[in-house]
């Protein structure tokens, strides 16, 4: 692969980042993941806007303007002939002597790479995924997309060790979100429920698009927290993310959700999202 590091395009084997980089030492970095389908960027303006916000919240100086960011995303797709998959972008506060205090004059490190992945023809979209619930032990600013992903990695690993596909995280008795996705249920009355935005969850770009599409289709939407118990009793469940789009959740803690097959509203929203964005 050809990767991008601080203004240079390099084969991945030649790309270098300092061992003193604060992204590496302190997880002092933010990231974005943008889907690519047929060489086209999906929901790029939303990802660019959230990146700017994440940088601002952590006072990492924005090293690129919106136009250059778009240009680099387009170039990396072309240079790697990426048809379907994702673009990963990371901006760290850069290298500095190891000190907990932020450096006075940071020089951010920007890296991008691509990863091929079947997003449309993902077999899990046909069957749905199974999730287990786990306590949400992440920090309190989950609205910032930082690279502090150790706990989500632990959660996902534990889920797969237990034969499930992913974990839904629970705090104070309510589901926050998935390890790397937003979480939704559909009630038996056909109402779409997802947690409202706060510092407890990441404001998903796919979430914003899917809620718009649901409202446009006349599906009643309620932004509120739900419990694992309510989810187990729901008619349907699903998650959203840049790499999963709308992903049916058909088992929660071993019990089938609804019929145990992807639900009608879930499938409708997945199809609507794909049709709208391509
Ligand atoms: N994760 N919540 C969390 C904790 C996430 O990590 C993600 C995305 C989402 C969904 O956001 P979006 O719709 O903007 O992708 C929600 C990405 C895909 C990742 O870490 O790979």
- State the complex-level ipTM: 0.99
Active site residue 145: yes
What are the percentages of helix, strand and coil residues in the chain, rounded to 5? 30, 30, 40
Atom 6 of ligand 1, residue of closest alpha carbon: 180
Residues 154, 106: Cα–Cα separation, whole Å: 31
- The answer to whether the Cα torsion of 185, 191, 192, 195 is positive or negative is negative
C-alpha to C-alpha distances, 152 to 10, 52, 147, 177, 180, nearest whole angstrom: 30, 23, 10, 11, 7
Strand order in the sheet with 29-37: 8-11, 2-5, 109-116, 85-92, 29-37, 40-41
Q: Would the CB of 210 count as within 6 Å of ligand 1?
A: no
Quick one: pLDDT band at residue 261, thresholds 50, 70, 90?
very high
Cα 186 to averaged position of ligand 1 atoms, centre (Å): 20
Pocket test for ligand 1, best of 242, 246, 249, 270 (most atoms within 8 A of CB): 242
Q: Would the CB of 127 count as within 6 Å of ligand 1?
A: no
- The answer to whether the Cα torsion of 106, 73, 141, 129 is positive or negative is negative
User: Which domains, ranges and CATH numbers included, belong to the chain?
Assistant: 2-116 (3.30.470.10), 123-277 (3.20.10.10)
Give yes or no for a contact between 221 and 196, defined as CB atoms under 8 angstroms apart.
no
Report pLDDT digits (tens) over 167-213.
999 999 999 999 999 999 999 999 999 999 999 999 999 999 999 99
Report pLDDT digits (tens) over 44-82.
999 999 999 999 999 999 999 999 999 999 999 999 999
Strands 129-135 and 8-11: unpaired
- Mean pLDDT over all residues of the chain? 98
Query: Quick check: 278 pLDDT over 90?
Result: no
Atom 3 of ligand 1, residue of closest alpha carbon: 180
In the set 145, 156, 162, 261, the catalytic residue is 145
Residue 144: predicted pLDDT: 98
């Amino acid at each position: 692969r050809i990767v991008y590091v601080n203004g240079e395009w390099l084969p991945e084997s030649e790309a270098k980042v300092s061992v003193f980089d604060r992204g590496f030492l302190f997880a002092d970095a933010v990231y974005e993941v943008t889907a690519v389908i047929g060489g086209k960027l999906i929901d790029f303006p939303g990802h660019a806007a959230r990146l700017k916000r994440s940088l601002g919240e952590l006072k990492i100086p924005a090293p690129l303007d919106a136009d250059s960011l778009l240009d680099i995303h387009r170039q990396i797709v072309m240079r790697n002939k990426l048809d379907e998959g994702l673009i990963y972008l990371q901006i760290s506060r850069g290298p500095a002597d190891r000190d907990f205090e932020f450096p006075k004059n940071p020089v951010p490190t920007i890296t991008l790479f691509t990863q091929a992945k079947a997003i449309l023809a993902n077999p899990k979209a046909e069957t749905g995924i199974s999730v287990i619930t786990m306590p949400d032990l992440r920090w309190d600013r989950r609205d910032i997309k930082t690279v502090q992903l150790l706990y989500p990695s632990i959660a996902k690993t534990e889920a797969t060790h237990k034969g499930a596909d992913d974990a839904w995280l629970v705090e104070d008795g309510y589901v926050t979100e998935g390890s790397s996705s937003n979480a939704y249920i559909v009630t038996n009355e056909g109402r779409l429920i997802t947690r409202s935005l706060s510092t407890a969850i990441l404001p998903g770009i796919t979430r914003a698009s899917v809620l718009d599409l649901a409202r446009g289709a006349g599906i009643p939407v309620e932004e509120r927290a739900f419990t694992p118990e309510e989810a187990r009793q729901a008619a349907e469940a699903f998650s959203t993310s840049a790499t999963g789009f709308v992903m049916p959740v058909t088992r929660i803690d071993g019990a089938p959700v609804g019929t145990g097959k992807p639900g009608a509203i879930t499938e409708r929203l997945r199809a609507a999202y794909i049709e709208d964005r391509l």
